[in-house]
Chain A
Amino acid sequence: MQLLERIKGCLGGLIIDISEFHGDIAVEVDRFKIVEALTRLRDDESLSMNFLSDLFGLDNKAFYEKPKKKAKKGDAEGEEEEKPKELPPRFEVVYLLLSLKTNERMMVKIRVPEDDLEVSSVTSLYKAATWPEREAFDMFGIRFKGHPNLKRLLMWDDFPAYPLRKDYPLEGRGEERSLVYGD
C-alpha cells in the first residue's frame, strides 16, 4: 500500500492538510495533538516512523505578505482581496520522520500562532529532539512545554531577539556591542 494511504489510515481525523511535492509527503496536524500524532506514527505497524531526523521552526511572515504586494499591481483583483485578517498562524514547526523498517520519509508540521508560542515537547518520544527544540526556541522563540532544559543553544543567553524570524535584519541590530563578558 502506498505511503500516503497508510498515513491517512493511521492518523485519520488528526490530519488537517496533506500534500506531496516531488515525492515528499507533508502532513499538517493540530498543534495540540502533535505528541499523539507522532506516537501513532511511531507505533503503527505498517509505518513505524521510529527515527526523528530533524525538527526545526519556520517563519511564514514574509511568505504571507508577498502575495498582497502582487495584488496591488493587478487592476481589479486588488480590491477584492483585501481581507488579510484571516491569515494562517505565523510560525511552523516541521518534524522530519524516517522509518528504518520501510526506508520511507515523511514530514509532519504544526502551525503556531504568534500570540501563543507554546507547543508540547517531543523529547519524551525521541531524545534526538533535545537540541533541535532548543534551537527552534533560540531562533524563533517557540517554547516547548516539557523540555528538560529549554535555553538558548547557538546564541548567547542574554541575546534579546530571535534571529531567524523574517523581521530580524540580516546584519543584526548590533547586539554584540552591548555584550557583557563574565558575571
Chain B
Amino acid sequence: MAQDYVKINIGPSHPAMHGTLRVIAETDGETIINAEPEIGYLHRGVEKLAESMTYHQFIPVTDRLNYCSAIPNNVAYEMAVEKLMGIEVPEKAQLIRVIMMELSRISDHIVCVGILGVDIGALTPFFYLFIQRETIYEMFEWYNGSRLTNTFGRIGGVEAPLFPGFEQKWIEFKPELMKAIDEMDKLLTHNRIWMDRTIGTTAFSAEDALNWGFTGPCLRACGVKRDLRRDEPYCMYDKFEFDIPVGKYGDVFDRYWVRMIEMYESIKIIDQAIEMYKALPDDAPLMAKVPKILKASEGEIYSAIESPNGELGFYLRGDGSDKPYRLKIRPPCYMVYQAFGELVNGEMVADLIACLSSLNVIAGELDR
C-alpha cells in the first residue's frame, strides 16, 4: 500500500552525502521504492557569471566546478576557448597539460575510491591512499603554488615549465603510489565483505547508460569502451599507449574496479609523457601567440575532454566582444546523477550511499 511507505529525507547536509546533495526516498522497510534527488543547493550561477567576465577571468572560476580535480576543468575550458579562437597550443605545453591532468585523474580516483570504502565501512585503505594524494598535491603546489584550486594553465599554453627535479620527484613517488594502490587492491578487491556489498549492487545495462547520457568510468563499468582520450584524441593522447578498462555489469564493484585500473593506466601515461617532455629542447615555446585582449568572432563551438568523471564539455558562443555571449558547461556527473532514482530502485538504503559514492557526484560541478 502506498500509504505504508515511509518517506525519508537524506541530506542536504549529511555526513554520508558528498557535498550538499539531497535525496528524498520512499522506503518499504529497508527497500527503496522511489528515490528522487534534488539538486541546486550549491548553485552559484557560474554560467551567468561567465557572461560578465572576460575569457581570461573565467579560468579561476572553473576551479570551483569539480574541486577534487581542478586541472582537467581548467584545461577543458582553455581548450574550448582555444578552439573558438583557433589557437594552436605548442607541443611542450600539451605535454605538461597531460602530465598534470593524469596526476589529477589519479588524485580524483583516490578520493572516489577512498570515500567509497569509508562509506561502506572500510576505513583503513582510505588512509593508505590519502597519504599519496597529499604528495600529488605537493607536486601541484611546487608547480604553481596552489593545491586544490590550481588555476592551471593559460589560454594558449601553460605559464611555466615543469619545476626542476620534477622527474626525480616522480621517480621517488611512483613506487610509493603503486604500493598504496596495490595495498588497496589487496585489502578490498577480494575481500568477502567488500564483494558482498558491491557486486551486483545498482547494476545498470549499457543501453540504459547510453540513453541516460552516462560517460566516463560509470559508462565503462557498463561495458562500453568509450574514452575521449582514444576516441577524440586531444593533447597528443593518440601518441600514448594505454588500455581502457571496462567492466561488465555496471555495478558498484565494476565502477570501483574501472577506477582502480585507470590509476595504473594514468601512471603509464605520465611515464611516457615525461620521456617525450625530456626529448624536447629547453627553450621550446610554452605559449602560443595570443593577443593581449582576446576577442572571439561570432560563432559557436563545443569542445569536450575526458575528465576523471567523464565527458566534461564546454559550449561557447562568441559575439565579437571579449566576453563569452553564452557559456554552457556539460558536467559529467550531472547526466549520471539524473538516473539516480532508476539506479537505486529496489535496493537497500545502505546501498544508496554506496551507489552515490561510486558515481563520484561532485556538487560543485553538478549545480555550477
Interface residues of A, Cβ cutoff 8 Å to B: 21-22, 24, 26, 50-54, 56, 58-59, 62-63, 66, 94, 96, 100, 103, 105, 107, 126-128, 130-131, 152-156, 163-164, 168, 170
Contact = CB atoms under 8 A, between A and B. Distances in A.
A22 B86 contact: yes
Nearest to B326: A58
Contacts of A53: 213, 302, 304, 311, 313, 330
A174 B315 CA distance: 29
Given A21-B300, A24-B302, A126-B211, A54 B40 contact: no
B43 A155 contact: yes
Interface stretch (B96-104, B151-159, B331-339, B351-359): B331-339
A176 to B, nearest CB: 12
Contacts of B124: none
A63 B319 contact: yes
A164 B84 CA distance: 22
A21 B211 contact: no
B49 interface: yes
A127 B211 contact: yes
A156 B12 CA distance: 14
A51 B210 contact: yes
A24 B316 CA distance: 12
B301 A155 contact: no
B300 A170 contact: no
10 contacts: A21-B299, A24-B301, A54-B313, A56-B315, A66-B319, A94-B300, A96-B302, A126-B211, A127-B213, A155-B43
B319 A128 contact: no
A128 B339 CA distance: 8
A170 B49 contact: yes
A72 B293 CA distance: 25
Interface in B207-245: 208, 210-213, 224, 226, 231-232
B325 interface: yes
Contacts of B213: 51-53, 126-128
A54 B368 CA distance: 15
Contacts of A21: 299-301
A63 B52 CA distance: 14
Contacts of A51: 210, 213
Contacts of A152: 40
A163 to B, nearest CB: 6
**Most chain A CB atoms below 10 A, which of B45, B224, B300:** B300
Nearest to B40: A154
B211 A128 contact: yes
Contacts, number: 87
A54 B300 contact: no
B300 A24 contact: yes
Contacts of B313: 53-54, 96
B328 interface: yes
Nearest to A152: B40
Contacts of B48: 163-164, 168, 170
Contacts of A59: 326
Given A96-B315, A164-B48, A170-B52, A128 B212 contact: yes
A21 B84 CA distance: 9
A22 B83 contact: yes
Nearest to B210: A51
Given A22-B301, A107-B300, A170-B51, 12 more contacts: A22-B84, A24-B300, A24-B301, A53-B213, A53-B302, A53-B330, A56-B315, A94-B300, A105-B302, A154-B39, A154-B368, A163-B45
B167 interface: no
B52 A154 contact: no
A163 B325 CA distance: 15
Given A100-B226, A128-B213, A154-B40, A22 B299 contact: yes
A22 B328 CA distance: 18
A100 B299 CA distance: 25
A79 B126 CA distance: 71
Contacts of B176: none
Nearest to B303: A24
A62 B208 CA distance: 39
A94 B211 contact: no
Contacts of B83: 22
Given A56-B328, A96-B315, A128-B335, A155 B302 contact: no
Contacts of B315: 54, 56, 94, 96
Give 8 nearest A-B pairs by CB, closest first.
A128-B213, A21-B299, A154-B40, A131-B338, A54-B330, A154-B43, A56-B328, A127-B211
A37 B43 CA distance: 33
Contact of A127 (B49, B212, B319, B330): B212
Contacts of B109: none
Interface string B294-311: 000001111010000001
A63 B51 CA distance: 12
B201 to A, nearest CB: 21
A162 B352 CA distance: 33
B317 interface: yes
Contact of A131 (B52, B84, B326, B334): B334
